[in-house]
Amino acid sequence: MPKYLVTARYSSEGARGVIKGGGGTARVEAVRQLVESVGGTVESLYFAFGGTDVYITLDAPANASVAAVAMTVGASGALSTVETIVLLTPEEVDEAARRSVNYRAPGS
């Protein structure tokens, strides 16, 4: 199953919701249920302070599953930014390195 890293920053409304809604462990459970609803699993979820509030690693069956989650969460207004990064295993990078591609650099 593809693996993803999701980073997010709470909006002020979202931060108030975390405080009002039972804190961090309640949010972890909500995220687990959300990801499981599209056939995925949460590997880890960490809260942080600084530019990013939440780091989540998850497995999901397809990009469309993660896109559905991102659109649903984004539409809620609870997050001001969300970034989803597709993660590659070392074996996938090995496979990519073995592939031959036809490319011409600009100006060459």
> Which amino acid would we find at residue 93?
V
Domain borders along the chain are 3-98
Return the CATH class of domain 3-98. alpha beta
Contact by Cβ (8 Å): 37, 28: no
Q: If you average pLDDT over residues 32-48, what whole number do you get?
A: 98
Whole-prediction pTM: 0.88
d(CA 44, CA 74) in angstroms, rounded, equals 20
d(CA 6, CA 86) in angstroms, rounded, equals 9
Q: In what order do the strands lie in the sheet with 41-47?
A: 41-47, 54-59, 3-10, 79-87
- Dump pLDDT digits (tens) for 44-103: 999 999 999 999 999 999 999 999 999 999 999 999 999 999 999 999 999 999 999 999
